[in-house]
Structures are given as C-alpha cells and as structure tokens.
Copies of this chain bind each other. A is one copy, B any other.
Amino acid sequence: MEPHNPASEYFTSYEDLEIHKLMLEDDPRTSAYKNAIMSNKAFFEGKVVMDVGCGTGILSIFCAQAGAKKVYAIEASKIAGLAKEIVKENKFEDVIEVIHSKVEDVQLPGNNKVDAIVSEWMGFYLLHEGMLDSVIMARDKFLKEDGEMFPESATIYLSPCSVPSLYKKWDDFHGVSMAALAKQFRTSKYNKPEILNVQAEDVLGCDEVALCWINLKEDTVSDLDSYSIQHVVGANKDGAFQGLCIWFECVFPDLSDNANHNPVRLDTGPLSTPTHWKQTVIILPEEQEVELGDPIAFQLEMCRDSVNKRRYNLQLSILDPEAVEHPLPCTCDLTKCLLIKSYMLQHPEESEKNAMETNGIEEEAIDDDDDMDSENDDS
C-alpha cells in the first residue's frame, strides 16, 4: 500500500515534525489518552481498534499495551513511515497495522468492523482545523453497533474574560505609555481570534456556558455545521470585559464495573493545566468596565466556512443585557434575576421544574409572575 520512504521523506516540512513534538509534549493531552485507555484495560483486552490520524502512533501503542489484539493505525501524511518504525521499536508490529492512507479510502479485510475508535482529532476551540468529519465518517463505516469512541463526547465552553496582555499593561510599560501600540494589537486581532493562555484570575464570568455538547457516538457531520448561543452571565468581580474566552473539554468512556464512575476528562479551560490548544479569545475592540454582578450579555455564532470546510467563522455580538432573556437561574444581579433566585430558593421543587423547562438556548420568558416582568421593565 505504501512505497518505502527513506527517513528524510517522512515529512513534508520541518514544521510538521515540530507540531508532532508539540502535541506529544502536551502532557495533559498525552496523559489523558493514556489514562483513558489504561483505565479500561478490561475493555481493550482482545479487541479490534482503529486509531484515526495516528501520527507517530503513540495512541495505537497505548491500545496495544492495554491488550488490544489488533489496531488499525490510519495516517494520511508521510509520518506514517515513522509510525511504522516506532511500532516496530516497541515490538507491536504483529498487533498494530499502520496504514498510510486517508481514512476515507481505507478498506479493512473482509469488511471488518472495530470495537473502538481512538482519535485525537481536536483543533483550536475544538473544531477549527480539526478532523472530526473524518472520525465521524470512520465511525459510520467501521465501528460496530455497540462500539466505543475515545473520546465519547466533547463540549465547547465560553466565558467573558480580561486580556491584560493586550490592554492594561501597555498604559504604563516600563514607565512608557504605549496605548497606541495596544490599540494596534487589538485592531490586528479584530478579525482573527487570539490563541493564548488566559490566566485563572482573568476569567470574568460567574460561570462558564456550553456553546454545544457533541455526542461522538451519534452526532452527524451536518450537526457540526453551526452552533449559536445567546447568553447572560454575571461578572464574578470588578474588572474589565475585554474578550470572550473559548475552550473545550473531552470526556472518555469509563467502562469499568466500578460503581464510582469517574471518566477521564481532557479539560483545556483556563482553570486547568495549560495545553498546546491554550484558549481561543475573541478580543473586543474596546473594553467594558464591569462591577461584580453586572450582567454581560453576548451572542456567539460558530459556522463552518463555506469554502474550507475544516475552518469555522466566529461571530461575536455584545448585547444589551436589558434587552435579552436571562438564563434561569441567572448569575447577574439585575433585580429580576435576584428575585427569581430568591424565589427558587424558597420553592426548590417548582424552580427545578421551571429550570428543566426553560434551560437551553431557546429558553422562554417566565410569564407567571407579573411583578418580575415589571421589575425587568423598570431596571
């Protein structure tokens, strides 16, 4: 299937190799996959696995170490040649079959199906330049009915944040005022989200909100075409609202018989150990000062690019908190939301029912309490 490549031809570029090094050295990433696989040894024992986009082959080797009897390691790029060498070096050439091909073109012998698909397909803010489409295609073609996906779900989270590296610190930088420079930075980033590590103390929302939850076992390629949310969150302190921070979390199956299910999670958020994905921040052209409890209202649309299907376009709108519906309960301190929170505390059963009805993107206003609505009108 693949011609013999001398070592110098494994890569299209020096940069490709650097990217694989960066990913391998991303310890939360590599450790999450290792832990997810090794903690499910009882599942992997004797199973057939497919690794979609195996790169250097490390995830395939984890599966073999966990007891898989066969691993199809699919890799479209020339690094497949190196994966073969690494498989051999680890003496798994009888278990792992490296296939140098796009997964779309792969045919397994006898139309074999696999018990699990392992893949590290995530891009910046989960979907950007990722390869989830290929993984879903592989799932529909190769995964047994009751097969497992590693990871099995993924969530994109959002939170308002401060970005001091592009704002405040330039007001007095070594005794020099560099506001013009900072403005230039922000202008240059207005159409290009910034990839950076947001510090925990720069998170400005009382809580994060999920833009979407992706079920890797069921969602289809067209489910990934666009996501949208309108949300209001209270500021968790006095500060400057300077950007919207986007990150993701992946959850792996816990197939153990253990009653205390504790699935492995790969969390790339600002409160976790930094990863090579860092966080993605849409920088506001002008900051907004906020005080503790102030409502921050925004709308984010994430849509697949019509030309390059592996890219997504982000559209952030900052909204008037008075003019939009607030979640139930809401973390902001507008009078209406404080009253609802207090009401829900006093009527836990009823409020739970309400929350189930109204939570989510298309939530309805609560119309059963005129006082609250008039409070909203007044505030």
A181 at the B interface (CB under 8 A):
yes
Chain A, interface residues (CB within 8 Å), range: 35 or more
Known contacts A24-B173, A173-B24: A10-B178 contact under CB 8 Å: no
Question: How close is A84's CB to chain B, nearest CB, in angstroms?
Answer: 9
A280 at the B interface (CB under 8 A):
no
**Pairwise interchain contact B187-A7, C-beta atoms closer than 8 A:** yes
**Pairwise interchain contact B14-A181, C-beta atoms closer than 8 A:** no
Question: How close is A30's CB to chain B, nearest CB, in angstroms?
Answer: 6
**Pairwise interchain contact B14-A192, C-beta atoms closer than 8 A:** yes
CA distance A187 to B6 in the complex (A): 12
CA distance A31 to B176 in the complex (A): 12
For A11, A17, A174, the residue with the greatest tally of chain B CB atoms inside 10 Å of its CB is: A174
**Pairwise interchain contact B86-A34, C-beta atoms closer than 8 A:** no
**Pairwise interchain contact B177-A90, C-beta atoms closer than 8 A:** yes
Using Cβ atoms and an 8 Å threshold, which residues of chain B touch A8? 187
Known contacts A31-B174, A34-B174: A185-B17 contact under CB 8 Å: yes
Using Cβ atoms and an 8 Å threshold, which residues of chain B touch A184? 7, 10-11, 17, 82
Using Cβ atoms and an 8 Å threshold, which residues of chain B touch A279? none
CA distance A49 to B198 in the complex (A): 40
Majority secondary structure, A binding face? helix
How many identical chains are in the complex? Answer: 2
Contact among B21, B24, B180 with A82 in the assembled complex (CB-CB below 8 Å): B180
Mask, A149-183, CB within 8 Å of B = 1, is 00000000000000001000000011111111101
Quick one: which of A1-49 are within 8 Å of B by CB?
Answer: 7-8, 10-11, 14, 17, 20-21, 24-25, 30-31, 34
CA distance A17 to B58 in the complex (A): 37
Known contacts A10-B184, A11-B188, A185-B17: A34-B178 contact under CB 8 Å: no
Contact among B25, B62, B176 with A86 in the assembled complex (CB-CB below 8 Å): B176
Question: How close is A87's CB to chain B, nearest CB, in angstroms?
Answer: 9
Known contacts A17-B184, A181-B82, A184-B17: A58-B176 contact under CB 8 Å: yes
Q: Quick one: closest B residue to A33, CB to CB?
A: B174
CA distance A14 to B186 in the complex (A): 11
**Pairwise interchain contact B86-A175, C-beta atoms closer than 8 A:** no
**Pairwise interchain contact A177-B86, C-beta atoms closer than 8 A:** yes
Question: How close is A127's CB to chain B, nearest CB, in angstroms?
Answer: 22
Question: How close is A237's CB to chain B, nearest CB, in angstroms?
Answer: 25
**Pairwise interchain contact B34-A181, C-beta atoms closer than 8 A:** no
**Pairwise interchain contact A177-B17, C-beta atoms closer than 8 A:** no
Q: Quick one: closest B residue to A57, CB to CB?
A: B176
Quick one: which of A84-138 are within 8 Å of B by CB?
Answer: 85-86, 89-90
Q: 25 A-B pairs, CB-CB below 8 angstroms?
A: A7-B183, A7-B184, A8-B187, A11-B184, A11-B188, A17-B184, A21-B185, A24-B173, A24-B178, A24-B181, A31-B174, A34-B175, A56-B178, A58-B174, A58-B178, A61-B176, A62-B174, A62-B176, A65-B176, A82-B184, A85-B180, A86-B181, A89-B177, A89-B178, A90-B176
Closest 4 CB pairs of A and B: A85-B180, A61-B176, A89-B177, A86-B180
